[in-house]
Amino acid sequence: MRISLVQGDITEQQVDAVVNAANSSLLGGGGVDGAIHSRGGPEILDECRRLRASHYGGGLPTGQAVATTAGRLPARWVIHTVGPVYSAAEDRSEQLASCYREALRVADELGIESIAFPAVSAGIYGWPVEDAARIAVGTVRSTPTKINDARFVLFTEDAFEAFERAISP
């Protein structure tokens, strides 16, 4: 698998699937979640509502992942995953790693060859970006998958630089 970094907007990526740093409601929010729902259009929200009604009435659990259409995004799929809120008092790194493993599992089930990840939990969920980068890159590298192209799409220069350090040998 080739792992690469891009500084930019995840909603513009030409990949099979983009990963959404969703909230547990699956009904949209801010940051990456809001951008994906806004640019992707109402088809994503409609499918999320159906998923909530049939499987996730209490919300998608932290560390889990589920796929929907990508609506008007250039990708075919959106894989929604719920990252943990950072806590200095409680180690939630396994939940964060699970977001990436579960997204790759769902991608493999769908036969996806290329995927774009954001920095899950490193925005409003407060995860320190250096640690988030280390967990993300390490998990994607060590998870068996059929993905050929895994891309981390980072919105800010600080996040891009943190992921650059994490990806370097």
**Rounded-to-integer distance, Cα 30 and Cα 37, Å:** 10
Q: Active site residue: 9, 33, 46, 149, which one?
A: 33
Instruction: From 104, 106, 100, 102, select the one nearest 119 (Cα to Cα).
Output: 100
**Which residues, in sequence order, are bridge partners of residue 161?**
none
Q: What angle do CA 64, 76, 27 make, to 5 degrees?
A: 45
Instruction: From 112, 118, 105, 100, select the one nearest 31 (Cα to Cα).
Output: 118
> Helix 42-54 to helix 31-40 angle, to the nearest 10 degrees?
110
Give yes or no: 33 in active site: yes
Q: Active-site residue numbers? A: 33
